[in-house]
Amino acid sequence: MTRIALIHALSHSVSPINEAFARDWPEAVRMNLLDDSLSADLARSGRGLDAAMHERFQRLAQYAVDTGAEGILFTCSAFGPCIEAVARRHAGIPVLKPNEAMVDEAMQGEGRLGLIATFAPTLASMPPEFPAGVTLELALAEGALDALNAGDTLRHDALIAAEAKVLRDRGCTRIALAQFSMARARAACEQASGLPVLTTVDSAVRALQRSV
C-alpha cells in the first residue's frame, strides 16, 4: 500500500486533506506530521525562511521518508522555498507544495479565474504561483476565518460562497479556493455560483495518485 506523508504547519489543514484522502484515495496509508509552531515562529522571528527554518523542513521530510513515505504533501503555502529544497533533496519521490496541483488544474480551463482566500496575505503570496499572463480576480471572504476559528462552519462556508457568486458576476468562469481550510466550502460555492470550483486538497490528492 502507498504511504503518503502529510506535513502540516496549521491544525486547520489536517481535517480537510484527510477527508479528501478518505473519500478519493482510501487505499493510501496516511501519516500526519503537525508542527503548529512553524507559522508562529516564522511570524515571530522576523528572519523569514532562514537556514534554521530550512533545516526544520529537511528534518520533517527526512523523518517521513525514514518511515517509508512514498510521497510528501506539505499543506501550508507560506514555506515554498523550504518545500522546493526538500523536493530537490528527495527527487526520487513526489514532494508537493500545497497549491501546486491546483494551479496546474486551473490552467487547464479557459477564461477568467476567481481566487478566494480567507487570509488576506494569501492573496498577495499566491498569485505569483500562477503562470505569467493568467487573468485572476481576487476576493477576500472577510470574517470567514474568524468564523471557522469560532467553530461556526456554516457562516464560514456562506461567506466564501457569497464571494464565489460575486466573482461569477465579475465574469469568472471557474473558482479556486486558496487554502486547505476552505475545501469544506466547495459545495456551497458551486451551488451559489453555478461554476466549477477547485480546491487545493482535491487537486493535491489527484496529483499524488498520478505520481506515485
**Of 37-46, 53-62, 63-72, 202-211, the least confident:** 37-46
Average pLDDT over residues 169-176: 97
**Confidence (pLDDT) at 110:** 87
- Predicted TM-score (pTM) of the model is 0.89
Average pLDDT, the chain: 93
All structural domains of the chain, each given as residue ranges with its CATH number in brackets, are: 3-98 (3.40.50.1860), 100-200 (3.40.50.1860)
Say if residue 133's pLDDT is above 90.
Answer: no
Residue 66, exposed/middle/buried by CB under 10 A (0-12, 13-18, 19+)? exposed
Average pLDDT over residues 140-145: 96
Say if residue 158's pLDDT is above 80.
Answer: yes
Residue 6 DSSP SS3: strand
* Residues 6 or more apart in contact with residue 38 via CB below 8 angstroms: 9, 53, 56, 76, 79
Q: How confident is the model at residue 16 (pLDDT cuts 50, 70, 90)?
A: very high
Q: How confident is the model at residue 43 (pLDDT cuts 50, 70, 90)?
A: confident
Residue 195, exposed/middle/buried by CB under 10 A (0-12, 13-18, 19+)? middle
**Confidence (pLDDT) at 72:** 98
Q: How confident is the model at residue 201 (pLDDT cuts 50, 70, 90)?
A: very high
d(CA 16, CA 5): 15
Strand duo 71-74 + 3-8: pairing: parallel
Strand partners, 7: 33, 74
**Confidence (pLDDT) at 120:** 85
Say if residue 187's pLDDT is above 90.
Answer: yes
Say if residue 119's pLDDT is above 90.
Answer: no
